[in-house]
């Protein structure tokens, strides 16, 4: 039982969610939208080695001056799917936030 608890604790410490946020144009915090203008799943294989996903935020928002931020995130669920597939399939979520 101790061995199983130790393995579970190690896996919990080694598992992590990650998010990268790129601020393009600043706006006051009270004007920042809470919901993304576009949310997209990016599909990667073999842990995403040598792969990239492109999202044209200026096209989504109708101009580069209307883009607030772009995020790329690996949630717990995405990490769990990657774990179940032994890293063969590792999805991420991209979100684009625009000015209203």
pTM for this model (two decimals): 0.73
Q: Look at residues 88, 75, 95 and name the one whose alpha carbon lies nearest to residue 21.
A: 95
What is the per-residue pLDDT for 13? 58
52-97 pLDDT per residue, tens: 888 888 898 888 888 888 998 888 888 888 888 888 888 889 999 9
CB 97 within 8 A of CB 40: no
Q: Where are the chain's structural domains?
A: 17-98
Give yes or no for residue 29 having a pLDDT over 90: no
Give the list of residues 6+ apart from residue 55 with CB closer than 8 angstroms, or none. Answer: 38, 40, 70, 94, 96
Start-to-end C-alpha separation, the chain: 55
């Amino acid at each position: 039982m101790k061995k199983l608890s130790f393995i579970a604790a190690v896996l919990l410490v080694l598992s992590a969610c990650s998010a990268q946020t790129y601020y393009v144009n600043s706006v006051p915090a009270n004007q920042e939208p809470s919901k993304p203008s576009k949310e997209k799943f990016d599909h990667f294989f073999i842990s995403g080695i040598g792969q990239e996903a492109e999202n044209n935020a200026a096209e989504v928002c109708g101009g580069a001056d209307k883009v607030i931020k772009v995020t790329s995130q690996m949630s717990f669920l995405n990490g769990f799917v990657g774990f179940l597939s032994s890293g063969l399939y590792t999805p991420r979520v991209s979100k684009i936030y625009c000015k209203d």
